Structure 1
Amino acid sequence: MTFVALPDAFDSSTDTFTSDWAAWHEARERGTSSPFGLASLVATHWLTGASEELDGVFGTWHAGLDGIIGEGRELEGLTVLQGGRPVRVISGNTVTLTSGQDIEWGDRRLRYFERDGALALRILDPEAPTRARLRGIDVFEPDPQWVIEGSFSPAAPDSRMEITAIDGHVSDDTPAGTLALAFPDGLETLTVVRERGALHAVFADGTSGTETYRFRFIDMPSPDADGSVVVDFNRSYLPPCVFSDFYVCPLPPAGNRLSRAIRAGEKNVLLDS
């Protein structure tokens, strides 16, 4: 697998802003292209309470009260990982997978996945065609003008918002609030949620579907005491569903389709023809 070299504008000797961004970009490419990175997902099998055989997987699998239950003689001796670390070796022909767990299956992994209470077994394969074709991530050159000051307004405690996923699934979520973004030529707003102790948004803009993928993600720090938040659109990044068709990414919620073109951050994947 080969990757496109960063242009001279990304030389880490230029300045701290550029070198920090280049380190982030390189980490993104490593993470998405690693043997069990985003591009290695080859299946997401949604489960019911009834045991069933799944394409490309040994044994039978079903959703149980305590997690994903697998049965098959091939399970004997396989290792269960928690957060990537070995926690036990399977003894017998039955296993229950819970949140954050994988099974090492030769060069592949079987992974627990949950959405709104529904459970799925995912298969990650380093030999996935999507990983084999991946050359890198196309990006805009970093530019400090896309570091925007924002003002956070918290949502009411009982606020809810509807989220539609790329596969059509509709779920209910709790917004953290809204951000008023002070672009030089006017304000824009984003609805944000809390993830891993910070703020996160799914957004589209004037480049979406043409210069960039149809939508992107952006993470930002929690607001200061006065509600101020710095949003660096140079670190806008592609959703997992760009790297494999088996992800179920959320689409931008109502109001998160910005009128302007955000020519910053990741554009799309670079693939071998």
Structure 2
Amino acid sequence: MKTHTLASVLVITLLAGACSPHDTPAPETSAAATAALDFKSEHAEWVQERTAELGKPDGWASLIGLHWIEAGTQSVGSAEGNAIRLAIAPGHLARLEPRADGLYFTPVDGAQVTADGKPVQGEIRLDPEGKGGGTTLTYDDGKGQITAIKRGKRLALRVRHADAPARLHFGGLDFFPAEESWRVQARFVPHPPGRTLPIVNVLGEVADNPNPGYVVFEKEGRQWKLEALGDPAKSLNLMFQDQTTSRQTYGVGRYLRTDAVAADGTVTLDFNRAYNPPCAYTDFATCPLPPPENRLAQQDDNRQLVRLAVVAGEKKYALALH
């Protein structure tokens, strides 16, 4: 007959107690704990993906310039005397000329520039970024990237480089701790077809954007409203300011995207995924600003201003110095 030491008896007793049916978590408790863990895990994965996207060799942190194009032929390169002087590039890279039928880019002799992976021989028309994708030129063995953008009637060169200081010193992102209480259910209220909303960008330019409706949600005992852009069948784009703006969060405001609006008109607003516009990371972006209607502010019964503090989502970005 086997004998047991006092220590082994204690271990067996503790294990038996741990496995007591009286201490087995209720199915409801176990399911809630699993859901909470899944929520935290999914959010962490989303933050990781967003961080990686911003820090890519051609992400927003890689921008090194936004150069507005004047009439006539202009020289492009990093050397002094160029009409368009790039921060990181060969001394003399190309000539640029806007014409009635488009913007033309011609590399100088010896400059190695590619478009869609093919060497550029002679001039090439540089189509602006847009739904069609636009033309992307690369130089410095692919580390440098040039595209054109159109804002109003003006054209500009948008230039990226993998060795941009802002990318090399990219400090990662800072978020409030994810809380399920900031994942709120909202109701989408459609506007009459064809309605638009004027949106101002950081350049002061105004553009009318399709405004399919607004969302209404409750928080802190009050009902709040945000005007929406986008397509309800695919995703709503919400730009907003709140009480944390310019304090804990970026001074311009933040953006939030949703999934498609459900057939019953409901839509989830996960403020944990509120994120900063590109202007938070670079001076060379042309971000749209939240409209006045989306400041998450209202008057109470005493005509005092009440603002919602969205203590969720992305905080201010600080460029790492080391």
Fold conserved (TM > 0.5)? yes
Which of 127, 139, 153 is the equivalent residue of 1:105? 139
Structure with a larger share of its residues in strand:
1
1:55 maps to 2:85? yes
Decide whether the 8 Å contact of 2:138 with 2:146 is kept in 1.
yes
State the distance in 2 between where 1:253 and 1:129 align: 32
CA distance in 2, matches of 1:90, 1:197: 38
Alpha-carbon distance, 1:52 to partner = 2.1
Residue 257 of structure 1: which of 287, 295, 320 is its match? 295
Secondary structure of 2:45's match?
helix
Q: Which amino acid aligns with 1:68?
A: L
Q: CA deviation at 1:97?
A: 2.1
Structure 2 match to 1:91: 121
- TM-score in terms of structure 1 length: 0.86
**Where do 1:223-238 residues align within 5 Å?**
223-238=261-276
Which of 275, 283, 289 aligns to 1:245? It is 283
Report if aligned partners of 2:95, 2:108 keep a CA contact under 8 Å in 1: no
What is aligned with 2:54?
32
Q: TM-score, normalised by structure 2?
A: 0.73
The alpha carbon displacement at 1:207 in A equals 0.3
**Cα offsets for 1:50-75 (capped at 9, x unmatched):** 33231126322244455431123258
Local SS of the residue matching 2:48? helix
Structure 1: 5+ residue runs without aligned partners? 1-11
Aligned equivalent of 2:316: 268
Q: Is the 8 A contact 1:75 1:95 kept in 2?
A: no
SS at match of 1:136: coil
What fraction of aligned residue pairs are identical, expressed as a percent?
29
Bigger drift between 47-56 and 102-111 goes to 47-56
Deviation at 1:30, TM superposition (A): 0.8
**Counterpart position of 2:42:** 20
* Matched residue, 1:185: 221
Q: Per-residue displacement from partner, 1:211-258 (whole Å, max 9, x unpaired)?
A: 111111100012112211111000001100011001010111121111
Report the AA paired with residue 121 of structure 2: S
- Give the RMSD, CA atoms, in angstroms: 2.3
Contact 1:49 1:63 in 2 (8 A): yes
Task: Compare CA radii of gyration and give the structure with the larger one.
Answer: 2
Q: Report if aligned partners of 1:76, 1:90 keep a CA contact under 8 Å in 2.
A: no
2:171 maps to 135
User: 1:249–1:19: structure 2 CA closer, same or farther, 3 Å change rule?
Assistant: same
Question: 1:68 is matched with which residue: 75, 99, 103?
Answer: 103
2:238 maps to a residue whose letter is A
Q: How far apart are 1:166 and its partner, in Å?
A: 1.3
User: Structure 1's 42 and 181: CA in aligned 2 closer, same or farther, altered over 3 A?
Assistant: same
Quote the Cα distance in structure 2 between the aligned partners of 1:123 and 1:190.
34
Q: Tell me the amino acid that sits aligned with residue 226 of structure 2.
A: L
Q: Residues 14, 147 of structure 1: CA spacing in aligned structure 2 closer, same or farther, 3 A cutoff?
A: closer
For 2:250, which of 197, 207, 213 is the aligned residue?
213
Moved more, 16-25 or 112-121: 112-121
Separation in 2 of the partners of 1:13 and 1:135?
Answer: 31
